[in-house]
Amino acid sequence: MPGYHPQDIEKKWQAHWKEHHTFKAENQPEKPKYYVLDMFPYPSGAGLHVGHPLGYIASDIVARYKRLRGYNVLHPMGFDSFGLPAEQYAIQTGQHPALTTEQNISTYIKQLSSLGFSYDWSREVRTSDPAYYKWTQWIFLKLFNSWYNLDTDRAEPLKTLLEKFEQNGSEGIRAAGDEEERHAFTAGQWKLFSEKQRLQAVHPYRLAYQQDTYVNWCPGLGTVLSNDEVKDGLSERGGFPVERRLMPQWNLRITAYADRLLQGLDTLDWPDAVKEMQRNWIGKSIGAEVTFQVQGHEPAQIKVYTTRVDTIYGATFLVLAPEHELVKELTTPAQLQAVQDYQDATKRRSERDRMADTKTVSGAFTGAYALNPFTNEPIQIWIADYVLAGYGTGAVMAVPSGDQRDYVFAKHFNLPIVQVVDQQQIGEQADPTKEGLYLHGLIQGQNYKQATQTLIQELEQRGIGKGKTNFRIRDAIFGRQRYWGEPIPIYYKDGVAYGVEEADLPLVLPEIDEYKPTETGEPPLGRAKDWKYKGQYEYELSTMPGWAGSSWYYLRYMDPHNTERFVGQEAEQYWQNVDLYLGGAEHATGHLLYSRFWHLFLKDLGLVTANEPFQKLINQGMILGRSNLAYRINGTNTFVTAGKKGDHQTTALHVDVNIVDNDVLDVEAFRNWREEYANAEFILEDNGTYVVGVEVEKMSKSKYNVVNPDTLIEKFGADALRLYEMFLGPLEQYKPWNTNGMSGVAGFLKKLWRLYHPQDGDFAVTDEAAKPAELKALHKVIRKVEEDIEKFSFNTTVSALMITVNELTALDCHKRAILEPLVVLLSPYAPHLAEELWVKLGHEAGSISHTQYPEFREEYLVEDTVNYPVAINGKVRETLQFPATATPADIEAAVRASDFLPRFADGKEPKKFIVVPGRMVNVVV
């Protein structure tokens, strides 16, 4: 049958690419490289809907275009295949997570392949593959066996730290981390330490360390959750209650890299919003640490970090986090019950909820007092959930005159408010001004800068504080009490953590009978029988968090089959880092930050060469669903069409969009869709159809607005789907889906096919010379496609291609000189059709991917003639055509000689001729 049949063409070319490894990338030092990467997908059981491929299509267009430009392109794909969803399914069904994960990946690969993406599938990686997570464990061990030297401002192997201990003990060592966790010792003492004592002394210096940490514990899931996985005190998955609990946890010392992570943002071509989110998350602040003595509890002290030490004379109370270690010690018997009740209530709130809630005022007085170090006056010590144990010191110096939250708290609990600056205006709210002169003590009469310097000097001289730079970011919790994740390669001997020998990696997940925590509350790995290191030492039972494997996967793609190294030096030095990274903005403070941290660490150890992992980042917008609504008359099973619903009291119900065509509901399919609608009656439009309502909202199963790409590919073809998703609008913006628009793009591809197959007949491209108008149409679009792809403006490229095909159709153009370059321009967007036409034009199958992008030639856009509107006394009377080379004198002479000038000038002589070259002529009479 003649005509364009995408389903046949597309399957043929997908098979060809797979068989011939068309997109296989090799290290080619003689060619410039371009590394384009999609964010690691998690293979969910639902598969892809039409919103998912948006970024994949865009990255594939860039990859194909860069190949045409002579680049050696690395465009890989793999799967972030560990995760809680597969484990929850395993708990419910008893099926091993590996089986469901494998099934889901097969579905994803089938769907991705059907869209014609030019992935190098030979480089596929999966985080749950032991051959991959061997190296995730290896990187963890490198972190475990490293420390951060503040003198060199980089991570170093523990060997350099041990050398310092041998020579001088702990004296003079400047290392990232909590100094209070470490103990002082001399070189002599170090030499006398037992192996256990040495390891205990070293542990607080490690970049991967274990510490009691407040976490989001979810008993229903039996695991620790990240802040992102908790919403309104419940787990995002399953809706189980979550509480704050102090538990021993593995942590990674990302705080050591805070300043470098901040500085590195300036070198990246990322969206400003993402960079700003990382800056805020890192949260650098310059201030002072101040020690408050606790009255009657000597030598108990409370350390406070403040960015406004200048306001310390207005500090009228202290607020501790409810989890603060001193709360139990300080609370008086009279306040004990109130404090315990408040602590219990706080455990049920996530940190995110506590930070976001700025309206609720709550707290409990401990009954204890601290002494303001500059006024020596006793001030009350409270606990409140707006202070978090993990931020700063877990204690706040409350200055209600200068901080609105402190002001509201003080007003609510009737606490003192003291003015600190003469220009403060304290009425219904706090005034954080730094203007004016200070009113009290050492800083009386000083301005802000003078007061700050004076107070810090006094703190340091008295040994009760110091100037300090602080960061909001906290060390990353690196453990989950679940099964389906990378085992942490740690074992315990005599209660001390040891790293598994590198030669014994990978530490493979053991088989267990159930995927729940044990009856005694241990993680699921506690169920493993006879699972011990060297047959005698207990393993760590937590597994790594979901972000572990995705923090370095971009490096493994460079050299995925290397069994000797996580990435070969030659491969890493050639590919270096990702040139273009596409993915969702939701990863701004998670995956992107952790990847940068791991990359900086690997660079410190000399294992990678690039400064950053992802040079350019684009966040694609979301494709929103187009929901369809049917309107049921209240109290009946009768549905009224959208146009007549105003006549009735109705309830809008979501309808499966797959039984709606051009907003017309298939009423029989609706009756068969769900049992409760089997006897539904319908009040129809006058033409006998049921027209649904429409609403734009997020795609979700619950709204029945999920559109499966498989269905659209079967009906319209993958090339049409690729073009339509790009045509919807700018890549970064949110845009609504409308399946009705697919037919327009499919029609464009049929029209293009007919340039090569007139009237849908045989291939009939001629070797005739191209005409100027045809060359002009071609070279306009050559330039447009190039400019738009370089700007990642894909929707305007599709428009330009449509315009060009319309122009060439109007010119009845079937010439090779025009249509051959046009195929190359089309190939990044509609690769299957382009491959088919390329072969018909006489080229080797599959060679279009590595041909050259057409050369733009400016001369074809130069006009031979120009149309000049001729105005007489400002009113256009005629249009004359002149050669583009005509001079103003030539044009004036032609107008003077025309027959229309005397007619419209009423026989009068022209007073003035104004010729605007290339534009118009104006005659004044």
Is residue 736 within 8 A of residue 742, CB to CB? The reply is no
132: closest CA among 439, 557, 438, 644?
557
Structure tokens at 254: 């990302």
What is the spatial distance between Cα 846 and Cα 851, in angstroms, rounded to a whole number?
10
What is the spatial distance between Cα 284 and Cα 254, in angstroms, rounded to a whole number?
14
Strand-pair category, 476-477 with 378-383: unpaired
Q: Tokens 């494998």 appear where?
A: 102
Q: Which H, E and C letters describe 728-782, residue by residue?
A: CCCCCCCEECCHHHHHHHHHHHHHHHHHHCHHHCCCCCECCCCCHHHHHHHHHHH
335: closest CA among 349, 350, 320?
320
* Strand-pair partners of 682: 639
Q: Which H, E and C letters describe 558-618, residue by residue?
A: CCCCCCCCCCCHHHHHHHCCECEEEECHHHCCCHHHHHHHHHHHHHHCCCCCCCCCECEEE
Is residue 524 within 8 A of residue 516, CB to CB? The reply is yes
What is the spatial distance between Cα 767 and Cα 484, in angstroms, rounded to a whole number?
62
What is the spatial distance between Cα 342 and Cα 364, in angstroms, rounded to a whole number?
7
666 phi and psi angles, rounded to 5 deg: -80, 100
What is the spatial distance between Cα 380 and Cα 284, in angstroms, rounded to a whole number?
29
End-to-end C-alpha distance for the chain, whole angstroms: 67
Is residue 140 within 8 A of residue 208, CB to CB? The reply is yes
Structure tokens at 135: 């190296």
Q: Which H, E and C letters describe 653-678, residue by residue?
A: EEECHHHEECCEECHHHHHHHCHHHC
Which amino acid is it at 569? Q
What is the spatial distance between Cα 681 and Cα 670, in angstroms, rounded to a whole number?
11
What is the spatial distance between Cα 37 and Cα 40, in angstroms, rounded to a whole number?
9
Please list the alpha-helical segments (H only) found in 605-686: 667-673
What is the spatial distance between Cα 486 and Cα 41, in angstroms, rounded to a whole number?
17
Q: Is 466 annotated as a binding residue?
A: no
HSE-up of residue 426 (Cα within 13 Å, Cβ side): 22
Structure tokens at 7: 């389903």
Structure tokens at 167: 């020579």
157: closest CA among 165, 142, 141, 146?
146
* Strand-pair partners of 328: none
**Cβ-proximal residues to 96 (8 Å cutoff; 6+ apart), any chain:** 90
Structure tokens at 281: 């998350």
Torsion of CA 643, 645, 646, 651, to 10 degrees: -140
Write out the H or E segment, with its range, that includes residue 97: helix 97-114
C-alpha dist (Å) from residue 153 to 474, 507, 880: 18, 32, 74
Q: Tokens 């055509």 appear where?
A: 881
Structure tokens at 587: 């990863």
361: closest CA among 416, 411, 417, 431?
411
Q: At what angle do helices 718-727 and 6-20 cross, to 10 degrees?
A: 100
Is residue 115 within 8 A of residue 708, CB to CB? The reply is no
Give the number of other Cβ atoms within 10 Å of residue 619's Cβ: 21
Which residues belong to the annotated binding site? 701
Which residues belong to the annotated binding site for ATP? 701
